[in-house]
Structure 1
Amino acid sequence: MMTNKSTKQLDILKFIYEKQQQRGYPPTVREIGDGVGLASSSTVHGHLTRLQDKGFIQKKAEKTRAITVTPTGIQALKKADILTLADTPAPMINTPQDIVASLDEETIILKHNSNTMINIGILNHDYLIIKKETAIPDGAIVAVILDKNSDGARQTNVYRYFKERNQVRLQPENSNLKPVITNNVEIIGQVIGVYRNEIN
């Protein structure tokens, strides 16, 4: 008979596996707690330790995101009928483990879907490592959300950031594009790295 504790551990295992598949990197301890309804990070750490002891995950204690579900863990999910062979998760971002392990609570990976920065080697479909920042210096490369259309549709893009009087100039690194002048921009964070799965 499965106990409440073992059920919660399977919930955590499933949550880690799904986030890894959806985003290409594992969730943080805080995200795991939020995802499975545990408010205490120490309780989450306890479950993770027991999952590691069972061989269901591998983790590095000093890294917040260095958690991976092992083949044994995947089999445990299948045996519990939580994960079936019919599941078709999204393709993973095959980021090197040292990049994933270096991510923290304030760092995310975002897929870039435009040609705004091609002159400096940031290409369409690259994955950008973005640090959430409150103070952005002039000239920094930032990921932003803009209200692009009259219907309020929002689009994520990447530009160089310049503060000019009471407005912002978002400067593309593409000679075919004009800068965006706006006073209505939401900054996701500063781009601190680029990862590309393959070279075309």
Structure 2
Amino acid sequence: MRRFTDDERAWADFFITRIGVILFAAVLLLSAFKIYPMFKGQETRAGLDAAASDIASRIEAVDVVTVPGYKYFYVFDEKDKNKRIEISTEFVVVRYILSTPWGERELVHAEPLVAHVYPPNSNWSNTSGLMKKLGDLGAGRNGDAVSPLDFSRDKEKVDGMFNNIEAELARTPFIPDMNRSLLIEKVMIHYRDGNRSVERDYVIIYQ
């Protein structure tokens, strides 16, 4: 009778041990499924941050340049071409759809811009388009060095145009084609205020 009881205990210990091993393996497997997406998400977020920061830093570098008409050609990194980039006047936003065992989720990073930038919009899509729009506002004068706008007559209209563009881009940001270079350009708008010359500089981007 005692031997039978010992055998039962041995089998009980065996099954308990096996169940414990199975449960431990299940916990490890579940942890692996949870930890991998967590690290993948952190790695992806770091990539979004780097992509947005790089574009923002190039825009801000052009802003401090004092040479009118200066252009910087920005080429998107190959590893960022699976991301969606949106540029408004005040932000560079990078989006990415991350696939996990539990489905897809969108990761987003928004990088604020120190310098306002003006991408393509409903008023114009490049420098020549901007000059044409300024010519319409300035009765033929487009604000370049040889054809300055009238400060008292035109400045308010130009400011209103840029304010409207800011509001438009906040609603519908510019989405660049990642397979094409992005041109970042410093543009100077010239005004004449009596005998005094007045300049206002802007950063525009286009493709």
Q: Would the TM-score normalized by the shorter structure come out above 0.5?
A: no
When normalised by structure 1's length, the TM-score is 0.27
Higher relative contact order (CA 8 A, sep 6+): 2
Question: Larger helix proportion, structure 1 or 2?
Answer: 2
